[in-house]
Amino acid sequence: MSTFKPTSERLLFGQYLLEKGIINKVQLVNALTTQQKEAISEKPRRLGMILLYDHNAFYSSRAELYKHLKAFELYKRDHKIYRPPAELIEVKGNE
């Protein structure tokens, strides 16, 4: 039995940052747009890095980003919100 939940039942990092007031909606939309554009490139970046380097979301500090990533993981654990690690997500087309 899989513990994977649909996106509507999961909390994503961007949603968490927005709900906690760490970033605003404009920053999130711009970062997600950048991430989508980069998804087709050879070097896509994770949302946190885009927010850090392109949108000045974490006072230009990796330590600040990592602090929020850790808090997000603890929040998900405490609220029993599950998102499978990337290596567990099935990739279509490589069969």
In a domain, 94, yes or no: no
Kindly state whether residue 2 falls inside one of the protein's structural domains.
Answer: no
**Residue-level pLDDT at 10:** 57
- In which residue ranges of the chain is pLDDT below 70? 1-11, 60, 81-95
Name the nearest CA neighbour of 16 among 62, 74, 95.
74
pTM: 0.66
- Total domains in the chain come to 1
Range of the domain at 65: 7-88
DSSP annotation of 43 reads S
In a domain, 11, yes or no: yes
Q: What pLDDT score does 92 carry? A: 46
